[in-house]
A and B are shown apart, each in its own frame.
Chain A
Amino acid sequence: MLSIDEVKHIALLARIGLKDEEVPTYQKDLSAVLDFFHELEEAKTETIEPIRHITGTQDVMRQDSMDDFGTLGKENIIKNMPDTKDNFLKVRSVF
């Protein structure tokens, strides 16, 4: 079972704000699923390589070029931004 502090730590790492009263529910639900994961311990995997890509695709190359969305496309992207100034995305101050 995860502790209350562990759940709060995980939520912070995940950048999810939790209210204090929500923490016990997540503590219970997350712990139940983590317990379920223990079933994997029985599998013998010492000599097994983990899957990297399921159909074995690797090293797919492409031209290092850009697709231009055009003026209209750019406007449509900017319209989705929560906060802008002079067509620039406005970001919260870090400090």
Chain B
Amino acid sequence: MIRELHQKLLSQEITAVELAERYLRVIEEKDSEIGAYLTVLRKQALEQAFLVDERIKRGEPIDLLAGIPGAVKDNMALEGVRTTAGSKILDNYIAPYSATVLERLQSVAAVILGKTNMDEFAMGSSTENSAYRPTKNPVDVTRVPGGSSGGSAAAVKAGMAVWSLGSDTGGSIRQPASFCGVVGLKPTYGRVSRFGLLAMASSLDQIGPITTTVEDVAIVFSRIAGHDAHDATTAQSGNGKPFEEYLGGEVKGKIIGVPKEYFSEKLDPRIKKVCDAALERFTSLGMVVKEISLPHSSLALPAYYIIMPCEVSSNLARFDGIKYGLSVNDQKDSSPSMGALLETYLDTRRIGFGAEVKKRIMLGTHALSSGYYDAYYSKAQKVRALIKRDFEEAYRDVDMIFSPTAPEVAFPLGEKTADPLKMYLGDIYTVTANLTGVPAISFPIGTLEEGGKLLPVGGQLMGKWFDEENLLCVADAFEKAGK
């Protein structure tokens, strides 16, 4: 889609301003119902588009993504723009600088239409934990779009953005992509800079693109990836060749591993059927499907739900009512009294954070506290080492690993909000890629009927570390073979 729009811009069939206006109009028409955007940047978007048009008129070369309108999750800082992370504690926060990924997109003149809704601080799998409003799934507005990047996935699905950025700590790009029937990539840990991303769990977080096709994911990914001096965990990797140029490469003979632990009798037979058909398509493309074992699979979810809240409790300690954001202090005018500072902390965080965020901060605080560290955090990091070893073993025999993205399709709004543990179980297939750091992509592999609607099912391919090239190649071949 991006390539076609780029051609239309070059041939002046459409101007970048017209293109931006077209998408802004769809936002006006649809977003009161969908609720994908928290902030729409009409003025900035049209200004950026105007500059692209000027360059085209002058015959200057432009990037593939120049003038192409997209949206970014509201946990990425954009200078001069309100950045809330879906939380009331940052309701009035105006970012004084831009995230590296957004600087990079602006440097190629991509048009940013706005900031998208999300579960508060990216904690959730349905976008119902947003402190502002839930987002609805454009496929069926009685259902959730997934989360936490639900706004980003819904914006793309509803035609309110060509591309979007999400962040993925335990599946937050891939699961909403699956629920909305679009494509989402969580890159290898260290591929994309996290500078300017409001941190959730720093050893797991990665930023990645959501689009309607694999090629578009590759195009956006190429422009945000790479080493950044502002994020010491980014790697010097790749040879500078854009990822979209790898597409169309040979996929014949590639070996796809299917972990037997992921396809137990507990898996919904309707989803298994869609997965079986997907595996047949891989075979028809000349790839080899091979059963493998990841013996520690069942431990991934509990390990994740220890490591993540520990890092959350540490990262969110900065929201204290002192430096920025919400500050609550009922005794403001009284004389300084013993404990005034502590009261500010307690009141600000009680009022500013939602229930799920408070719960995870408390879980992490408990797990890291004296006497519990070894039993929880240290144990979980050891289990993480075992899970990584499973993957290293598996990748001796296979090139990538296939599974459904989620054990379910988009569920009705409100269905799981009362039972948080049930919500966590939906992350079963996605958290391992974050724990091990491998890249993983979710793409549509079929649909199943529920409540009279055809709901998208997403398939997930996990690749070797820093091997997005092969992952994108295979997902692209799969997508094209289905057309």
Q: Do A and B come from one complex?
A: yes
* Chain A residues near B (Cβ < 8 Å): 7, 10-19, 25-26, 29-30, 32-34, 36-37, 39-40, 42-43, 45, 48-51, 53-55, 57, 60, 62, 69, 73, 76-77, 79-83, 89, 91-95
Which chain A positions have C-beta within 8 A of B355?
A: 25
Check if A40 sits within 8 Å of B379, measured CB to CB: yes
Check if B303 sits within 8 Å of A40, measured CB to CB: yes
Which chain B positions have C-beta within 8 A of A32?
A: 420-421
Check if B324 sits within 8 Å of A39, measured CB to CB: no
Q: Which of B46-54, B169-177, B337-345 contacts A (4 or more CB under 8 A)?
A: B337-345
B interface: dominant SS: helix
A-B pairs with beta carbons under 8 Å apart, 7 shown: A14-B365, A17-B350, A39-B298, A43-B383, A48-B382, A76-B94, A95-B336
Which chain A positions have C-beta within 8 A of B338?
A: 95
Within the complex, the shortest CB–CB distance from B206 to chain A, in Å, comes to 11
Which chain A positions have C-beta within 8 A of B386?
A: 43, 45, 48
- Residue of A12, A30, A55, A91 with most partner-chain B CB within 10 A: A55
How many angstroms from the CA of A16 to the CA of B299 in the assembled complex?
30
B contact residues, total (Cβ < 8 Å): 74
Q: A15 with B188: in contact, given A39-B302, A69-B97 (CB under 8 Å)?
A: no
Contact pick for A16, options B93, B96, B361, B436, CB 8 Å: B361
| B1 sits at the interface (CB 8 A) | no
Check if B363 sits within 8 Å of A30, measured CB to CB: yes
Check if A26 sits within 8 Å of B305, measured CB to CB: no
Which chain B positions have C-beta within 8 A of A40?
A: 299, 302-303, 306, 379-380, 383
Q: A55 with B349: in contact, given A30-B366, A93-B336 (CB under 8 Å)?
A: no
Within the complex, the shortest CB–CB distance from B330 to chain A, in Å, comes to 11
Within the complex, the shortest CB–CB distance from A7 to chain B, in Å, comes to 8
Check if B362 sits within 8 Å of A10, measured CB to CB: yes
Give the contacts of B279-300 with A (CB-CB under 8 A): 296, 298-299
Q: A57 with B359: in contact, given A82-B322, A82-B324, A95-B338 (CB under 8 Å)?
A: no
The interface bits of chain B over 375-392 (1 if a CB of A lies within 8 angstroms of the residue's CB, else 0) are 010111111111010000
